Structure formats: structure tokens, C-alpha cells
């Protein structure tokens, strides 16, 4: 079928490329002229493992095209997917819905030309958004010519391509049989490849809630294991042994039990805050979600304090080497990255401090976020270069290649030998044998 995807970000682009690979005719729409120009050359505008190869393949085959024209995408489409951003409001932290509603309003003038179209909200949206989108479209389009559904995404950044083709479940919030049928046909090729995958059909409002509930639960799990890591550091237990024992319980499971500097990215912080806002709108007090939000904010400050504490106060102009800027490995996304937040906190706390940074994929995105500190940041080309003249080496993102850092070389390059390993990527025994003071997460 012809599918239009509105938005070519970390959700829209992998989804569009994935649907094209399944055999659908996909048109991706975006207002960003430069982004569309790059995509029209068959080049990706974000990093996801395997995405570039799939895009080139399906672009060459003519299965996916890119345009700034809403009409080109919507007219003739059986399905229109809204995959635009819903960033948090800077004050209330509620989801900013302007881009969703603008997309719905603009597409409505073209939907009238179609016989029947399903409009799917794939953006993470507050409960009741489907009703609002439906009302906006109904101002210009007869009700029998369209349906609005909730089709939440569950793609992990860094693994989006893999997750698209190997989903745990596909959740469809549709209130009509006609809409359910279209979505079933859309995913039929995928369901044949993954017979274990369940297509769960629920009400639209339940589907909208499932996304927030899932992300908030996972964020809470991360916050819990980080608190347990603090407990282990105080008591002499090992957080990895504790997590292994917990994860063997089928009721708990091993996923999201890795300690670190806190959760981040474009989803967990935004969605926990949005859920808390919606709860308060409904006169509810979600204490567990609130504790998760507050605890994660404190986690960032605590990690920054560890770095600052490791500095030798005798050094008038200390230098911190930073490995990792993206919020997780496998992506170039720096939005609400714990690494970036920790780095900014460190820079803010000591005006004489400078940093040397490296990330395999996220350097360009990081530069945009660090413009106000431009004179105090040196962008390096390797992990080894980061160590040159540094007093403290901080590991903030879990890129696998950081495990291969030549510790002996690092010891020779650094001015002082301190390591704050917020991802437990380096070998503590090796570091200490080379004269480093080493502090990891949840381990002695």
C-alpha cells in the first residue's frame, strides 16, 4: 500500500525505511528542506546501525521517496503516519503538541481526495490526542473517509532497525474494524516473519496509555538499579552479581538492570514528566514516577560531583577527558543525554576547567549543544587523544570500543591518573595497577 510518513527523525525515518523493505510504497514528508535534500540523495540524516544500507537499497529500488510537499505524500495514501516530535514544555513538562496538530490540520485538506485513509499517531502523545486529531481532520473531511488510530512505536535508539523487524508486540489503538484491517495488512509481511509477535488490538486511549506506562516503568527500573548500585558501593556488594540474581527471577527479568549515570534520550525523561503532568491534571499523585524523575535528576548531579571530586585542587586549570557524548551507544542522539548533562554540570561548576571529548558518532550534535562552552571544549579524534594532558578520564557512554582503550598509553598521556567510569567499561584492576585511582558504579 502507499504509506505517507510525516517526520523523518529517529522514529519516522527508520519506520519509513522498514515499511519500504516490507514492500510498501513509502513517501516521507518533512518541512526541513536541507534534510529532505540529503535524503533525496539516498543519504541518511541520523545514525542507526544498518539504516544507511537499507535506505540506499530501497531508495534505489524506488520503494521510498522524500518530499517537502504534504500533497505528494497524502494524496492516494491508504495510511498516513504522524511521526513528529512532541518535546516537553519548558515549564510544565507536558508534551508540546503543536507539531502533531499542525500536521493533522495540513493533511486534512488533502485527505478529502482519497476514498478512505487511516491516520496513525506514532508520535508519543497524551491520552485523548486521537480524539483531538480526529476533530481537527473532521472540519475538512467527511467522517466516513478516515479513521484516526494510535500506533505507538517501541523502537530503541541504536537498535531501531533491528527492533522494527523483530518487534515484541505491535499495539494498535483503533475504534473501527476498517482501520484494524488496514493495519493488519500493513504488518502482515512482518507478522509472517515473526510468528511469535503479537498484534494487540486495544482502544485508542489504552494504546496511548501503553506507551507512557511502558517507558515510565523502564525508567523506574533504571532508577532502582542505580539506587542499588549506590547501596552496593556503601556495603561492599557487587551490583552485577546483585543484578544477575534479580534478573533470574522471571517476574523481574534481566533487562534494564545495568547501572549507569541515569536514563536519558528523547523518550524516558520526556515521557515520565508527561505522565506525571497528565496524572496531576486528573488529580492523581503518581509518587513512584515522581521519585524516578527526581532521583534521575539527582543522579546527574552526583556523577558530576564524582568527576569534580577526583580533580586535584592544586591544579589551577584542570582538564577532564570525556569518553562518550551520546545518551547511549549505537546512536548519535545527544538529546537529554546524561553524558551531556554531566559534562555541562562540570563545566558550569568550575569556570577554569577545560574538557577534551570524543564520541564515535555524536560529535556534530554535541557541538551544537556546547556552543556556549566552545572555547573550553577540545574535540578529539580518538579515545587516546582525549587522554592527552587530562587530569581525570570520565567514561560517560557505553561505546564497546572504549573497552579497548590502551590503559598503559593512557597513563603515560595523562597529567594525573584519575578515572571516573560511569559505565564500568574499563578494567578496574588494570587501572589501579597502573597507578590510577578508579571509581566505577556499584563495585568496590
Q: How many Å apart are CA 176 and CA 262, to the nearest integer?
A: 41
DSSP letter at 374? Answer: G
Q: How many Å apart are CA 325 and CA 364, to the nearest integer?
A: 10
Q: How many Å apart are CA 175 and CA 71, to the nearest integer?
A: 26
Residue positions forming the annotated binding site: 30, 35, 86, 124, 154-157, 211, 256-260, 264, 270, 328, 335
Q: How many Å apart are CA 36 and CA 24, to the nearest integer?
A: 20
- Between the CA of residue 416 and those of 164, 312, 390, 408, 437, what are the distances in Å? 45, 8, 7, 13, 10
Percent helix, percent strand, percent coil in the chain, to nearest 5: 45, 15, 40
Residue positions forming the annotated binding site for substrate: 154-157, 211, 256-260, 264, 328
DSSP letter string, 124-187: ---TTHHHHHHHHHHTTS-GGGEEEEE----PPTTSHHHHHHS-SEEEEE-SSHHHHHHHHHHH
| Catalytic residue of the set 28, 267, 334, 422 | 267
Q: How many Å apart are CA 32 and CA 41, to the nearest integer?
A: 15
Catalytic-residue membership of 380? no
Residue positions forming the annotated binding site for NAD(+): 30, 35, 86, 124, 157, 270, 335
HSE value, Cβ hemisphere, 13 Å, CA-based, for 86:
26
Q: How many Å apart are CA 266 and CA 4, to the nearest integer?
A: 23
SS3 13: helix
Q: Annotated active-site positions, please?
A: 267
Amino acid at each position: 500500500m502507499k504509506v505517507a510518513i510525516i517526520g523523518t527523525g529517529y522514529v519516522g525515518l527508520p519506520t519509513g525505511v522498514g515499511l519500504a523493505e516490507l514492500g510498501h510504497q513509502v513517501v516521507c514528508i518533512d518541512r526541513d528542506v536541507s534534510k529532505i535534500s540529503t535524503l533525496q540523495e539516498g543519504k541518511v540524516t541520523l545514525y542507526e546501525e544498518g539504516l544507511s544500507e537499507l535506505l540506499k537499497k530501497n531508495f534505489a529500488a524506488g520503494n521510498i521517496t522524500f518530499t517537502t510537499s504534504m500533497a505528494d505524500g497524502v494524496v492516494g495514501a491508504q495510511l498516513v503516519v504522524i511521526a513528529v516530535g512532541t518535546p516537553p514544555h519548558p515549564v510544565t513538562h507536558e508534551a508540546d503538541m503543536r507539531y502533531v496538530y499542525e500536521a493533522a490540520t495540513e493533511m486534512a485538506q488533502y485527505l478529502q481526495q482519497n476514498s478512505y485513509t487511516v491516520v496513525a499517531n506514532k508520535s508519543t502523545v497524551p491520552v485523548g490526542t486521537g480524539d483531538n486529531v480526529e476533530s481537527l481532520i473532521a472540519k475538512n473531511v467527511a467522517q466516513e473517509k478516515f479513521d484516526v488510530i494510535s500506533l505507538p512505536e517501541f523502537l530503541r535508539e541504536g537498535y531501531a532497525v533491528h527492533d522494527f523487524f523483530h518487534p515484541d508486540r505491535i499495539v494498535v489503538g483503533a475504534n473501527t474494524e476498517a482501520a484494524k484491517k488496514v493495519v493488519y495488512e500493513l504488518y502482515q509481511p512482518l507478522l509472517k516473519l515473526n510468528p511469535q509477535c503479537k498484534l494487540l488490538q486495544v482502544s485508542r486511549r489504552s494504546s496511548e496509555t501503553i506507551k507512557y506506562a511502558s517507558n515510565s516503568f523502564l525508567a523506574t527500573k533504571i532508577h532502582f538499579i542505580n539506587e542499588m548500585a549506590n547501596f552496593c558501593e556503601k556495603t561492599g556488594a557487587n551490583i552485577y552479581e546483585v543484578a544477575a540474581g534479580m534478573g533470574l527471577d522471571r517476574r523481574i527479568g534481566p533487562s534494564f538492570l545495568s547501572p549507569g549515570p541515569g536514563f536519558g534520550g528523547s523518550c524516558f525523561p520526556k515521557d515520565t514528566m508527561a505522565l506525571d503532568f497528565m496524572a496531576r491534571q486528573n488529580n492523581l499523585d503518581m509518587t513512584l514516577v515522581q521519585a524516578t524523575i527526581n532521583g534521575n535528576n539527582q543522579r546527574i548531579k552526583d556523577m558530576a560531583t564524582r568527576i569534580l571530586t577526583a580533580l586535584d585542587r592544586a591544579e589551577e586549570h584542570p582538564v577532564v577527558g570525556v569518553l562518550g557524548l551520546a545518551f547511549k551507544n549505537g546512536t548519535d542522539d545527544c538529546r537529554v543525554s546524561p553524558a551531556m548533562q554531566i559534562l555541562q554540570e562540570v563545566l558550569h561548576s568550575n569556570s577554569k576547567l577545560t574538557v577534551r571529548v570524543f564520541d564515535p558518532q555524536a560529535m556534530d550534535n554535541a557541538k551544537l549543544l556546547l556552543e556556549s562552552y566552545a572555547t573550553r571544549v577540545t574535540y578529539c579524534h580518538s579515545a587516546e587523544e582525549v587522554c592527552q594532558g587530562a587530569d581525570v578520564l570520565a567514561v560517560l557512554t557505553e561505546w564497546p570500543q572504549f573497552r579497548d582503550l590502551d590503559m598503559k598509553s593512557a597513563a603515560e598521556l595523562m597529567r594525573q591518573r584519575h578515572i571516573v567510569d560511569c559505565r564500568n567499561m574499563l578494567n578496574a584492576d588494570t587501572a589501579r595497577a597502573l597507578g590510577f585511582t578508579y571509581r566505577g558504579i556499584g563495585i568496590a
